[in-house]
Amino acid sequence: MKMDAVIPVLCALLIWLPATALCPDGQETANSGGWALDPEHNLTDEGPCNIDVCDKSLTYSQFIQRYAYSKPVILRGLTDNRKFQLLCSKANLLRDYGRSLVRLSTANTYSYRKVDVPFQDFVERLLRPQSLDALGSDTLYFFGDNNFTEWRSLFEQYRPPVYRLPHTSGAYSFGIAGPGTGVPFHWHGPGYSEVIYGKKRWFLYPPDKEPHFHPNHTTLSWVQHTYPSLPAEDRPIECTLRPGEVLYFPDHWWHATLNLDTSVFVSTFLG
């Protein structure tokens, strides 16, 4: 049987399985890198997983034909970022970058306010669970706006996904966020997002189906108040990612994220 005939079957078989069913032995109880907070703050609802999941047997040509310009896909086993993961433990990052300034952004759809704080202050004072009644404009989120000169030695150890779109290059965005935090619905160009520690739930809609949301309400608020009442035809494409899993999303796809526990993550934006 040709490999092209095997891959579609593999991806189709995985599409409706919960993510926990596909994790390697022991991954579910993997070390949190010191980032875990009190478990009572973690969110337990991982939702369904209705995104195709493929492994490294997916060829580049198959990725381009089936996913690059048409729909999201979760990739497993394409890169090995265990060294980067170790460097991103709480103890290691505080040791190496505790005094470095990091830029935080408000977690609303149209972010304007930026705040610079020492990384250690962010970890010790601001890295906390999301309050359900807080607005996005009052929620500071550490993602993007990274100082790649000061943090170069860390990012040099990251191994990005191997599939690139023609005529594009990748730009990294690194983040750390507490339980219940996330970015509300927005869109931009294509890209990847990999979870290093923790669990992150993704919600996506195609470009022609704008979701109903308030641009200054948090994803947690949307999940609590809007998501449960959505009819089947208005439900998002979604899945919860774990460490080592990479989500690819095409150009102009609406997406929002919800960190189920304290998460460390890297996105690679293709432009």
Burial class (CB in 10 A: 0-12, 13-18, 19+), 242: buried
pTM, full prediction: 0.88
Chain segment 164-175, per-residue pLDDT in tens: 999 999 999 999
Confidence class for position 55, pLDDT limits 50, 70, 90: very high
How much is the mean pLDDT over the chain?
89
Closest-CA residue to 23 (of 192, 245, 179, 196): 245
Query: What is the residue type of 80?
Result: D
Which of helix, strand or coil describes residue 54? strand
d(CA 21, CA 187): 30
Burial class (CB in 10 A: 0-12, 13-18, 19+), 256: buried
Top mean pLDDT of 39-48, 101-110, 145-154, 188-197 is at 188-197
Closest-CA residue to 161 (of 53, 10, 56): 56
Q: 58 — phi, psi (to 5°)? A: -70, 120
Q: Determine which helix (DSSP H) or strand (DSSP E) holds 84, and give its type and residue range.
A: helix 82-87
The yes-or-no verdict on residue 26 having pLDDT over 90 is no
